[in-house]
Amino acid sequence: MDLLNTLVDKGLRRELPTREEALAVLATSDDELLDVVTAAGKVRRQWFGRRVKLNYLVNLKSGLCPEDCSYCSQRLGSKAGILKYTWLKPDQASEAAAAGLAGGAKRVCLVASGRGPTDRDVDRVSDTIKAIKDQNEGVEVCACLGLLSDGQAERLREAGADAYNHNLNTSESTYGDITTTHTYADRVDTVQKAHAAGLSACSGLIAGMGESDEDLVDVVYSLRALDPDSVPVNFLIPVEGTPLAKEWNLTPQRCLRILAMVRFVCPDVEVRIAGGREVHLRTMQPLALHLANSIFLGDYLTTEGQAGKADLDMIADAGFEVEGTGQVTLPEHRVTAGTGGGCGSHAEAGCGSHADAGCGSHEGGGCGPCGSAADEQAPAAARVPETARASEARTDLVAVRRRGAGTDLAPNA
């Protein structure tokens, strides 16, 4: 296909595709799917070889959130039967992190539900970061605490945080359908605060919430404009007791097209398959490794993931290798440029970012803000392309996490 040849050439040059080209990737047929994966795989291998970075989530505070994010099982008023607990102590969090690191994880993502941290919360997380780094040489730590106030990103950086996650989640035009208690601009502002403080910015999206192809392209182009070092791609986990529990809009094929589109638009950033891969990609997960160079190991914030050993077996069987702590994830040109540089400068992107986000893994959702019980009305499913609404509800694949952080049971890592 001329389209795919063009996209490969642009990806190898770090050149921004046109919106029409990005939309065309999402519109390809199932007969063309392997060609799409092969093309995007060439771009992935150019910048990341066959390495897969493993990340591990620790939910420092579960539930009890005042925001109304429709996708989130931790939202205030959520009827989901999730674990609810207040802040883990630094030694508890460090112990939870150790399980993931022993399983091969290179980065620990410290997540807390809520609109944003207080200064006391930043102190707590700072103590936790120090505890983890004191016991684990070379570990990367990403914090994900919601909307940041002035000076908080700098304090996290001083405490040893390497990165900060805050997802845009969906397009600016549809953001109000998903969340009403904060704005899209609030999220953009927090990503920019992380950038300005010298933290590696991590910001991604959630697919499967009723959005159109145009919405998906909009948010990915906005992410390119923000220029994060890592882009988590979440696939909505429709958790019972949340407003989006009936939204089953994804097929494995559509998930692969979305990942390919993200890779073409952001060719040299860490693209992470985050929440929902087990639910929506299912047996097609190994193919997704040809598109993304990063995954979460084990469980998510409030739902269970694939067993850690199964993740490692999948990576090996597919011919990939786990990225070691001594290896640098990002291509050299991004490393030398600090937290800027490769996915596209603000000037070239022109994609609706304001001048003023897991880790982003979670139950199809970005860490913080995570939700409250305002309007229980889900976004109109009519926006979803007819061809995308082919997936049957696989509620059997959605299990609430009952182990790991906040429990007395060993974690899945």
**Which three-class secondary structure state does DSSP give residue 303?**
strand
Q: How many helices (H) and strands (E) does the chain have?
A: 14, 10
Nearest to 82 by CA among 119, 117, 113: 113
Q: Give Cβ neighbours of residue 15 (< 8 Å, ≥ 6 apart).
A: 9
Catalytic site includes residue 367: no
The predicted structure's pLDDT at residue 397: 87
Rounded CA gap, 330 and 374, in Å?
Answer: 40
3-state DSSP percent of the chain in helix, strand and coil, to 5: 40, 15, 45
Catalytic option among 69, 255, 351, 370: 69
The predicted structure's pLDDT at residue 398: 86
| pLDDT tens-digit map of 248-305 | 999 999 999 999 999 999 999 999 999 999 999 999 999 999 999 999 998 887 778 9
* Helix ranges restricted to H, 252-382: 252-265, 285-288, 308-317, 332-336, 346-349
- Residue in this structure with the two tokens 């539930």, named with its chain if needed: 63
Catalytic site includes residue 142: yes
Task: Identify any residues that bridge with 271 across adjacent strands, giving them in sequence order.
Answer: 231
Torsion of CA 366, 122, 409, 105, to 10 degrees: 60
Catalytic option among 51, 75, 107, 202: 202
User: Class assignment of domain 2-397?
Assistant: alpha beta
Catalytic site includes residue 255: no
Q: Give Cβ neighbours of residue 234 (< 8 Å, ≥ 6 apart).
A: 167, 204, 205, 206, 207, 274, 275, 276, 358, 360, 361, 362, 364, 365, 366
pLDDT tier for residue 364 given thresholds of 50, 70 and 90: very low
| pLDDT tens-digit map of 175-189 | 999 889 999 999 999
Task: Identify any residues that bridge with 321 across adjacent strands, giving them in sequence order.
Answer: 51
Residue 45 CA, distance from chain mean position:
20
Rounded CA gap, 224 and 262, in Å?
Answer: 9
Task: Identify any residues that bridge with 233 across adjacent strands, giving them in sequence order.
Answer: 205, 273
Q: In angstroms, how far is the first alpha carbon of the chain from the final one?
A: 41
| pLDDT tens-digit map of 7-55 | 999 999 999 999 999 999 999 999 999 999 999 999 999 999 999 999 9
Q: What is the mean pLDDT of residues 154-174?
A: 97
Q: Give Cβ neighbours of residue 202 (< 8 Å, ≥ 6 apart).
A: 142, 144, 163, 164, 165, 166, 228, 229, 230, 231, 232, 357, 358, 359, 360
Residue 27 CA, distance from chain mean position:
23
Catalytic option among 51, 72, 224, 334: 72
Residue type, 126: S
Q: Does 377 or 385 have the greater pLDDT score?
A: 385
Q: Does 341 or 170 have the greater pLDDT score?
A: 170
Residue 318 CA, distance from chain mean position:
22
**Which three-class secondary structure state does DSSP give residue 81?**
coil
The predicted structure's pLDDT at residue 409: 82
Catalytic site includes residue 155: no
| pLDDT tens-digit map of 90-128 | 999 999 999 999 999 999 999 998 899 999 999 999 999
What are the domain boundaries of the chain? Answer: 2-397
Res. 346: pLDDT tops 50: no
Catalytic option among 14, 44, 51, 65: 65
Catalytic site includes residue 65: yes
- Residue in this structure with the two tokens 């009305």, named with its chain if needed: 377
Catalytic option among 142, 266, 367, 370: 142
Catalytic site includes residue 72: yes
The 10 Å Cβ neighbour count of residue 66 is 16
Q: How many residues does the chain have?
A: 413
For 242, the token pair is 């949340």
At 296, phi and psi to the nearest 5?
A: -90, 140
Catalytic site includes residue 343: no
Specify whether the backbone of 295 is left (phi greater than 0), alpha (psi in -120 to 50) or beta: beta
Rounded CA gap, 64 and 45, in Å?
Answer: 41
Cβ–Cβ under 8 Å, residues 84 and 332: no
